[in-house]
Amino acid sequence: MSSTESLPTPSLLSGTSLLSGIKLSMLDLVPTRTGYSTADAIRESVAVAQHVEQLGFERFWLAEHHNIEGIASSATAVLIGHIAGHTQSIRVGSGGIMLPNHPPLVVAEQFGTLATMYPDRIDLGLGRAPGSDQATMRALHRRPEDAEDFPQQVEQLQQLLGPMQHGQKLKAIPGADTNVPIWLLGSSLFSAQLAAQMGLPYAFASHFAPRMMLEAVNLYKNNFRPSATLAEPYVIIGVPVVVADTEQEAQLLATSGQQKILALFRGQSLSLVPPVTSMDGHWLPHEQQGVEQFLSAAAIGAPEQVKAKLNALLAQTGANELMVVTDVYEQNARHHSLSLLAELVK
């Protein structure tokens, strides 16, 4: 089967839900809300991590972004340690660290230290995008061609986190022998192909770039080579999710996320804003089309509607795990949305 063909769709028996027993995880950018401080945003991320841990979520990842007003997850490794220190069992990691922004030795030392402090709880998801604009790339001393070395950087990172070799001169201390699980993240075909070649687990960013989702997952699965790390392909799909007691309420809550993406398109602050009763008058037709395409993988609605959407997504992709992004302004509503979602997998 070529990489452009559709993935096989698992047969669905009457009443059977592919969501039943699926692993749920969460991606958080530590969003700041209008009217609240960055310190508030960090406290709220701790609270939501504790909440999803109680709900049985598998992992809680934070994403590296720089120079973006409204997103407070720039010091990703620091926040991972903070979240891990305020939770008990949930896996905490990066979704992801933009590896070309950092020397692999520094990343290995940071995550080796985290893994030493919180054994068997730390994940290292890696991407190759800059995570910001050209000015910030220069401030990070990153060159456009640095992304070309991404495969070699991943290999070096594996070596630094793996067993110490006889005569090894470059060592990550802490880091060596911690074997922190490495994930490759992507929104295109490059990381899918590399993850397949290296036998690594793969997470696709369909929460903001769903267009190539099926092709990327298909490419990864068809070309996967078993490794010492992973015997079979393993896929996480990112998905925006807003669940509420009624469809009307969910659609209302989701307007905060829609306004955030609209602000991204306009180059404005990404601080999360309160919901609005209608987006009419807030966007132009071409902006509405862009936001809807951006969020085309989203599952928004009452529980049964979200269940149907996520079941269809799992049937299309055969994903092993769903990683949700829930941009809801009111924190009680955000927690309730995640609680309703957790009920769907039981």
Residue 339 C-beta-side C-alpha neighbours within 13 Å = 11
pLDDT at 134: 73
Nearest Cα neighbor of 311 from 22, 4, 5 is: 22
**DSSP sequence for 116-166:** HHSTT-EEEEEE-S-SS-HHHHHHTT--GGGGGGHHHHHHHHHHHHSPPPT
Collapsing DSSP states into helix, strand and coil, what is residue 177? Answer: strand
pLDDT at 138: 74
If you ran DSSP here, which 8-state letter would residue 318 be given? -
Collapsing DSSP states into helix, strand and coil, what is residue 295? Answer: coil
pLDDT at 89: 97
- Mean pLDDT, 10 residues at a time, the chain of 346 residues: 38 64 96 96 98 98 92 96 98 94 95 98 91 69 71 96 91 96 94 97 92 94 96 97 98 98 95 96 96 95 97 96 98 98 95
User: Which residues, listed in sequence order, are joined to residue 185 by a DSSP beta bridge?
Assistant: 203
Provide the 10 A C-beta neighbour count for residue 241: 29
The structure's pTM equals: 0.91
User: CA–CA separation, 33 vs 30, rounded Å?
Assistant: 10
User: CA–CA separation, 296 vs 90, rounded Å?
Assistant: 29
